[in-house]
Structure 1
Amino acid sequence: MVKLTTAQLFLALSSYALAAPTLDEQGPAVDLGSVRIVGVEDVGGTQEFFGGIPYAEPPLGDLRFRPSQPKTELAKETFNATSLFSPMCLQDVSWLGLDFTLPISEDCLTINVARPAGTTPDSKLPVMVWIYGGSFTGGGTLIYNGSSLVAQSISRNTPIIYVNFNYRLGALGFPIGDDATSEDVLNLGLKDQRLALEWVQENINAFGGDSAKVTVFGESAGAISISTHMLSSSFSTLARGAILQSGSGPTTALFNGTTEDKNADWGRFLGGVEECAGSVNGTDTSPDDATLSEDEAGAGGNNTTSLDCLRTISNATLLLEAWTIAGALSNSGVPFRPTLDPGSKDAVLPMLPSRVYAQGEFAKVPFISGVNRDESTLFSSRTANYTTSAIRQIILDSITPSELAQDELEAVIDQVLEAYPDDPVVGSPYGTGEETFGLGEGYKRWSSIGAFSLPRCAMGKADDWVVAGDKDFQAGRRRMNRLSIEYDDVRSWGYHFTDRQSEPSMGVGHGAEVAYIFSDLLRSNLSANLGVPANRTGAFDLSEVMVDYWISFAVEGDPNDGRGRERPIWGEYSAEAPAVLQLENGNTTNVGDDYREGAMDVFLDNPIAFRH
């Protein structure tokens, strides 16, 4: 894993080159009700930034493991928004591969706004809202400052406002099990996102944005989140468009929060918090009640649930350590992620996305949906032997419990194994022939199939988790774009990112395109863990083209506004032309959406089997 120096991260985070004023200076300011939000201007005088604005009450104490509550008022008449970014939500930041520690906190539900200098409430600029990814266990706003997006929007005379926000992650954002289900606190991270989008609707006009021209975009877990929100028709009141980078509604296998595995994972989490280890499903099994003080008894008494107990824990580090242990022991790799919540009074995922699509009851906003050529290689084990029997078991475990009978599931898995033979020539990374890179048996076959949930018990490898190829990412993208064929009132564009990266065994892996949208990441090398372009100069050229498409879509609702870099017309996805835009330096062009069509049809034709 590439280690980044403090200087490299500073380069990524200091693209604003902010000159922090004191609060009595004449700096950029926005009035929200009776409160003045004071921001900061960059040293070049081209952009203004407002950071760390709370959109929700801190989810601490009794508000831990509860839906976020809107922050209706700030404590002071003047709010200092001149700092860069607030801490990321609680997480293990080792996934970033940094040589130092980044700030994390439970008190993290904040939002940031960047705009062109001189913007006024009358400017009515289009707004781009970013939702970060990270497998619902990592990520934060400070990684994606958006200054390069705003700068390019200015240079092409189509200025936009950029917004991003933090949301709760892991066990704190996605509690599971019987207690979380009965207390109706599933999918809290998704509800944080929705509250933040509501904040944008209520307040962005004061910053000079147009609440009727909001485009939400995100990658991986961020894109999955957006497409989940799109399952409700009410999403159209929060945004007029969406850009989904490597993620869609059908990307993850979805289950109820009360399955045996979900309860087992929640039990593992509780087991890591000594004070609450005996509190399971509303019953405290600890034998030590007699030794507890009156206050402590409230943390684990017989009338409390595990959530009641966890709300009394004052040391958040204990929760993070317990959540990390639970993740390491889980058979699902990423235990704390979105779940079906059909019994919720405020349901986010009442049913499988495929059923929502079939009913047509989703938000019919224009969208862009795309994937990278080799989505799964980032996660596939480079040492495990993916034999046919192992792959069969992995897939079976990842889609059970099921509504289908065992023999039906086995028959579907047979179709998968037949469609994806053990032949490196047709495996991922694609286009590499018989080369196997000296890696484990079946690496290229498994990287082509993929599965979001890869149980460690099947492979005996602690580093096997969150793998996704055709089964989830590629087929999910195609399913989303095909909505344009099924419904006349759905407009969409698809892309296939294929720009060559420097590590051949990884191909064009998951996350490689992110730095092309946030070009400061290309300059800083912060995205090196997700891929390093083989041609850095060409990567910057392609980055400009991609950002032009993205901004054009945000401004006009169509990626082809003709402004900025000369680039091909991106064909709209349709029955007459089911095509995607191949994004590759020197070879960006529309291509038919028929790659591995017969193989992917196994997933598209059996959405219930694959919990899509």
Structure 2
Amino acid sequence: MFGMCFLALCILIGSVLSTSALAPPSVALDEAKFIGKRVNNTDQYLGIPFAQPPVGNLRFRLPQPLETYQGTHDATSFAPFCPQDISDVISSGGASFLDPFQAAFLDTFSTAIANQSEDCLYLDIYAPAGTKPGVNLPVVMWITFGSFLWGGSSFFDGSVIVERSVQNHEPVILVAINHRLNAFGFLPGQQAKDAGITNLGLRDQRQALRWIQQYIHQFGGDHSRVTIWGANTGSISAAFQMLNNGGNSEGLFSGAWMHSGFPIPLNTYSELQGTYDILVNQTSCQNSTDSLDCLRQLPYEELYEAMLAAPAAQRFGRWQVVLDNDFIAEQPETLLQQGKIARVPFVVGCTQDEGTDGALNLTSITTDNETAAWLMEEGLPGIPMSAVEEIFALYPSDPTDGSPFDTGDLYAITPQYKRLAALVGDIEYHSQRRFFLNHTAGHQGAWSFQSKEFKFPFIGAIDLSDMLNIWGPGTLTDRLVSFVTHGNPNNGTGINWPQWTISAPHQLNIQNDSSFTIEPDTFRAAGMNLLISLNIQFPE
């Protein structure tokens, strides 16, 4: 494998040296020519459509493949991202505690963004400078995070990953995609089910993977080595691509790398019927005999405003992946238990303090009774008081036991904040990660990590803080590049990262000083076992 990579690198270097520094990079797709741009050591092809525009009669339809490309196309600018509310979706309560993290985050993701439009099914390709067909470099497809409400390919500079890969002598190609969001991508309800258009955002991702299979060779990529990569909802998306189609990947991808997002128990399409009805009632379609057809014909502005009529905090529970018995055949935990998942190698990871962001929205809860009420009504809705008492025994209100972890009694914003942060993190992230590993690791290569890096005051190693390393770039970037190249995150240097197994559940820990250690993945085992069993019985 290393010999093959060295040969590919030599071919790549030869291609670079033979390419005129003055000529912009270009690629032929079908009968068309796409002209990109070279930035430093990366060739960028931006705003390439991978499906027909989902507008007009194609609004709320399955993504349709493109017809033959023709003509000459300028691929030097980002295409629009999908409709969303680009204002801050984090609630005002406790937001000041997030300021240092947000400043670091904005410094890392400073790429200029595009406009938004319903015509948004585009992708961007970043390749090492001079890459030509036949080099057959491995490919990583990045899926944006943003709670299925916001985000897009233009929020990220893929050259960060590509240039690091070249420095590591393991060159890769990065593809960043848009997919439909909010109501445009995740319309629930019986009407959506009957029309076969549930989970359109996930179906857009599948179409992008098919596009890569057809065209990535023209950019110098290897269609047989495609890793899907995402964080939060991008990670959830990657997991659902693995669970789709009975676990048959159709050869669309060969691996997955997932940060802080796992397929938790879902609402059904019918349980969110009210979301569909509210949308319709916010428009002139409220008295229509065929509301879905009416929504397809609405002026874009009217539909967009209706979609955003609800407060931002409520949208998190409305425009989400649903169990549709189609793209997602059964509850994800059932599919995992049945082994209906793509048997490809994968990496999963969390940050240490995943729950602090969510707990900042719960600072009005200050007593045991209020925490119990939250658990029974929202955290694990429907659980009996006896289950709450079991949880309290394992997650006491003592701040030294809570999150941010390993901070003693510091940062106790309220008497319940650190307990709630521990509960939110373990219910939504850490227990889900372990459940995923426990039902896959015996059948395929599996690696796990926990990031304790970037411990900010009051919020610790918060959700998405590992993005500051991997998009930095940092030491985790090197492990990603090796995984994309070899299907294994070990790169022959530094500490060996063992596979996670049920008998030896070891994981990589990224310490606050950026060093790596290997530690048992057994922390809070009793609490997480209880929470995952309750979550399956009482989904959020």
Distance of aligned partners of 1:152 and 1:88 in 2 relative to their CA distance in 1, 3 Å threshold: same
Write out aligned runs for 1:74-473 (5 A): 74=69, 76-83=70-77, 85-95=78-88, 103-232=115-244, 233-235=247-249, 237-250=251-264, 253-259=265-271, 262-273=272-283, 275-276=284-285, 278=286, 284=287, 300=288, 302=289, 304-305=290-291, 307-314=292-299, 316-328=300-312, 330=314, 333-342=316-325, 347-380=326-359, 381=361, 383-398=363-378, 411-437=386-412, 439-450=413-424, 469-473=425-429
Unmatched runs of 5 consecutive residues or more in structure 2: 1-21, 90-101
Number of aligned residue pairs? 496
Residue 89 of structure 1 and its aligned partner are, at CA, apart by 0.6
Contact 1:545 1:567 in 2 (8 A): no
Distance of aligned partners of 1:256 and 1:161 in 2 relative to their CA distance in 1, 3 Å threshold: same
Residue 148 of structure 1 and its aligned partner are, at CA, apart by 1.3
Distance of aligned partners of 1:254 and 1:412 in 2 relative to their CA distance in 1, 3 Å threshold: farther
Residue 357 of structure 1 and its aligned partner are, at CA, apart by 1.3
2:31 matched residue in structure 1: 34
1-side partners of 2:446 and 2:318: how far apart?
Answer: 32
Residue 191 of structure 1 and its aligned partner are, at CA, apart by 0.5
SS of aligned partner of 1:37: strand
Superposition CA RMSD, Å: 2.3
Distance of aligned partners of 1:198 and 1:390 in 2 relative to their CA distance in 1, 3 Å threshold: farther
SS of aligned partner of 1:172: helix
1-side partners of 2:312 and 2:278: how far apart?
Answer: 10
1:559 matched residue in structure 2: 489
2:536 matched residue in structure 1: 608
2-side partners of 1:26 and 1:155: how far apart?
Answer: 23
Contact 1:369 1:480 in 2 (8 A): no
1-side partners of 2:454 and 2:470: how far apart?
Answer: 16
Contact 1:255 1:339 in 2 (8 A): yes
1:582 matched residue in structure 2: 509
Deviation per residue, 1:276-323 (Å, 9 max, x gap):
2x2xxxxx2xxxxxxxxxxxxxxx3x3x12x21111112x33333222
Distance of aligned partners of 1:322 and 1:572 in 2 relative to their CA distance in 1, 3 Å threshold: same
SS of aligned partner of 2:370: helix
Distance of aligned partners of 1:223 and 1:386 in 2 relative to their CA distance in 1, 3 Å threshold: farther
Contact 1:416 1:602 in 2 (8 A): yes
Unmatched runs of 5 consecutive residues or more in structure 1: 1-24, 279-283, 285-299, 451-468, 520-542
SS of aligned partner of 1:218: strand
1:481 matched residue in structure 2: 437
Contact 1:399 1:609 in 2 (8 A): no
2-side partners of 1:470 and 1:171: how far apart?
Answer: 29
2-side partners of 1:508 and 1:111: how far apart?
Answer: 31
Distance of aligned partners of 1:200 and 1:327 in 2 relative to their CA distance in 1, 3 Å threshold: farther
Distance of aligned partners of 1:69 and 1:101 in 2 relative to their CA distance in 1, 3 Å threshold: closer
Contact 1:214 1:240 in 2 (8 A): yes
2-side partners of 1:111 and 1:68: how far apart?
Answer: 14
Amino acid at match of 1:490: Q
2-side partners of 1:329 and 1:312: how far apart?
Answer: 28
Residue 418 of structure 1 and its aligned partner are, at CA, apart by 3.0
Amino acid at match of 2:480: W
Residue 177 of structure 1 and its aligned partner are, at CA, apart by 1.8
1-side partners of 2:221 and 2:312: how far apart?
Answer: 43
Give the % identical residues. Answer: 32
Question: Match for 1:491 among 436, 445, 468?
Answer: 445
- The two structures have a TM-score, normalised by structure 1, of 0.77
Distance of aligned partners of 1:272 and 1:123 in 2 relative to their CA distance in 1, 3 Å threshold: same
1:504 matched residue in structure 2: 457
Residue 417 of structure 1 and its aligned partner are, at CA, apart by 3.2
